[in-house]
Amino acid sequence: MLVLANIFESHIYAVSSMFLGFVLFSIPLVIMEEKEVIKGKYKNIIFTIIGTALVVLISVFNPAADVNVAHLTFGSAIYIFVAGAIAITAMVLPGISGSTLLLIFGLYLPIVSAVKEFLHLNLAYFPVLCVFGLGILVGIISVIKLIRMCLKKYRSQTIYAIIGLMIGSLFSIVQGPTTLDVPQEAMTLQTFSILFFIIGGAVIFGLQKLRSVMDKKEEK
């Protein structure tokens, strides 16, 4: 965790490029896996537009910019609680990781940094970790059940919305450097790393291959 925080801060563009690889290469995989569900139901693309717009709006207005994880206010505590509850839904959302959801909320580095400081016995960060942990518990108890219900009863609409969230998260990742404690410029073609982008894609395809192998073993 300590290494992760340091890498994220000092190599933000490389890490962001890798996250772009994660998300961009995951999108076609989700589409292929769910093609029977989304095929012919193109009117549901409105949910993709809504999902994309929601993520872009969160990134543009960036409520996390006013969040000080060392000195919580009531508003920031609510925001972190909700982010924790939503981030844990990555357990049941195809193609989206908890890290990506935290990046969307602008809380990835603040939470990682809070863990790092707490491991250094800086108890000022304990409240934010408690609030985040409570959010995760609530997410496990209630939000995940809601997502599963949506996937069961409204799978096509939910998958289209998930694709929208993934598309919107590309914008959030590009804007990621602006959310650092010392803000940097958003990623550009000059700061984009094709190497780390390819590594991100390779990790996704590697995990997909591993999953296929495990599925075949279970069938046997």
Using alpha carbons only, how large is the chain's radius of gyration in Å?
Answer: 18
Distance CA 28, CA 33 (A): 9
Write b or e for each residue in 69-96: b if 16 or more Cβ atoms lie within 10 A of its Cβ, otherwise e. beebeeebbebbbbbbbbbbbbeebbbb
Predicted confidence at residue 106, as pLDDT, reads 80
Are the CB atoms for 51 and 167 separated by under 8 Å?
A: yes
Overall size of the chain counted in residues:
220
Burial zone of 31 (CB within 10 Å; 0-12 exposed, 13-18 middle, 19+ buried): middle
Q: Give per-residue pLDDT as tens, 96-136.
A: 778 778 888 888 878 888 888 888 888 888 999 999 999 99
Q: Which amino acid is at 180?
A: L
How far does Cα 46 stand from its chain's mean position? 21
Distance CA 70, CA 120 (A): 14
Q: What is the pLDDT along the chain (220 residues), one digit of tens a residue?
A: 455 566 676 788 998 899 899 999 999 989 998 999 998 898 999 999 999 999 898 888 877 666 777 778 888 889 899 999 988 888 777 777 787 788 888 888 788 888 888 888 888 889 999 999 999 999 888 888 888 898 899 999 999 999 999 999 999 889 888 877 777 898 999 999 999 999 999 988 888 888 777 766 666 5
Q: Is the pTM of this model over 0.75?
A: yes
DSSP letters for the chain: -HHHHHHHHHSHHHHHHHHHHHHHHHHHHHHHHTHHHHTT-GGGHHHHHHHHHHHHHHHHH-GGGG--TTS--HHHHHHHHHHHHHHGGGGTSTT--HHHHHHHTT-HHHHHHHHHHHHTT-GGGHHHHHHHHHHHHHIIIIIHHHHHHHHHHSHHHHHHHHHHHHHHHHHHHHHGGGGSSS--PPP-TTT--HHHHHHHHHHHHHHHHHHHHHHHHHH-
Provide, rounded to the nearest whole percent, the portion of the chain with pLDDT above 70: 91
